Amino acid sequence: MKNTTKKYTNGDITIVWQPDVCIHSTFCWKGLNEVFNPHKRPWIDMDGASTDRIIEQVKKCPSGALSFFQNKEEKSTDGETTTQTETIVEVSPNGPLMVYGNVTVKDAHGNEKKHNKVTALCRCGASGNKPYCDGTHRKIEFRG
């Protein structure tokens, strides 16, 4: 799996986009097309809305492909910015397990990856990006 990461900033915040994690839920651009427009390049225009509005929209990303950090914040030594929050697991109808909050996922090789905010975990078993959801549940018409 690739580990592509792109960053966009407006001076106050930086949006981090990981396209390989994106499940194409369209929550970002359907909610704030002035900033997130997949028909333009670059597809993120940080001047399209206020910082608060951009943050509000990024927090809706179900896969965690979009995240942000305050440019004034100090990052930990591993480059991660953590969020103090309760962890909640929610079953999406006919879709992934949505994990809201801080979670560490360990892969089959023992590699750990920390996630903050929202993580979508595969429930259908058909994802090509296990344990994460890649949207395949829609293609196979998963019900559950």
Eight-class DSSP state of 12: S
* Closest among 107, 106, 103 to 120, alpha carbons compared: 103
Q: Give percent of the chain with pLDDT exceeding 70.
A: 88
Task: Verify that 65 and 21 share a domain, yes or no.
Answer: yes
Model-level pTM? 0.55
Which of 10-14, 78-82, 101-105, 137-141 is the least confident region?
78-82
Give the 3-state secondary structure of residue 132: strand
Of residues 73 and 122, the one with the higher pLDDT is 122
Comparison of pLDDT for 84 and 12, the residue scoring more = 12
The answer as to whether 11 is a domain residue is yes
Q: Are 37 and 54 contacting, i.e. CB atoms less than 8 angstroms apart? A: no
Domain range spanning residue 102?
88-139
| pLDDT digits 0-9 by tens, 69-116 | 887 644 555 565 544 456 778 888 898 998 877 788 988 888 888 887
**76 domain-assigned:** no
The Cα 29–Cα 91 span in angstroms is: 23
Average pLDDT of every residue of the chain:
84
Domain count, the chain: 2
Residue 81 covered by a domain: no
Q: 103 and 65: one domain?
A: no
Whether residues 58 and 95 share a domain: the answer is no
Residue 83 lies in a domain: no
* Pair 14, 65 in one domain: yes
The CATH number of the domain holding residue 135 is 3.40.5
